[in-house]
Amino acid sequence: DTAVSQTPKYLVTQMGNDKSIKCEQNLGHDTMYWYKQDSKKFLKIMFSYNNKELIINETVPNRFSPKSPDKAHLNLHINSLELGDSAVYFCASSQDTAGEQFFGPGTRLTVL
C-alpha cells in the first residue's frame, strides 16, 4: 500500500534520448510535485500541479514537460536528455497548499 510511487527507480540512458518518469499517489491528495536533487544533494522544486492544473513552474528548461492525466498521477517527460540532467528526481504530494508533503522513493536518472 505504497503512498507515493515512482517508476522506474533507476534510469540509465544516452544523451539526446527522450524519457519519462511516472508518479502515482493513492492518498487522495489534490496537489503533486516534482523535485530535483542536485549533485550537492539540494532538493529544488520543479513543478507543482493542483487538481491537474499547473501552479508552480520554476526555471526549468522546456525540455522538461510535466503531464497530469488525473489528480493521482503526475508524469515527467524529458526531451533531448543532457549530461546535466543526471540527478535523483522525487515526486511528492500533499492534501492542500500548507500541508506536509509525502515523497516518493526517487528515480535516479543517469545520462551517459
Partner 1 sequence: ILNVEQSPQSLHVQEGDSTNFTCSFPSSNFYALHWYRWETAKSPKALFVMTLNGDEKKKGRISATLNTKEGYSYLYIKGSQPEDSATYLCAFSDARSGATNKLIFGTGTLLAVQP
Identify the burial level of 83 via C-beta atoms within 10 angstroms of its C-beta, where 0-12 means exposed, 13-18 middle and 19 or more buried: exposed
Q: Is 68 in the site for partner 1 (CB under 8 A)?
A: no
If one asks whether residue 13 binds partner 1 (CB under 8 A), the answer comes out as: no
Nearer to partner 1, 78 or 90 (CB): 90
Pairwise CA distance, residues 28 & 26, whole Å: 6
Interface residue with partner 1, options 21, 81, 104, 107 (CB under 8 A)? 104
**Binding segment (CB under 8 A) for partner 1, from list 20-28, 60-68, 73-81, 101-109:** 101-109
Residue from 11, 13, 3, 14 nearest 91 by CA: 3
Q: Which of 1, 40, 62, 69 binds partner 1 (CB under 8 A)?
A: 40
Determine how many CB atoms are found less than 10 A away from the CB of residue 29. 20
Among 7, 22, 45, 60, binds partner 1 (CB under 8 A): 45
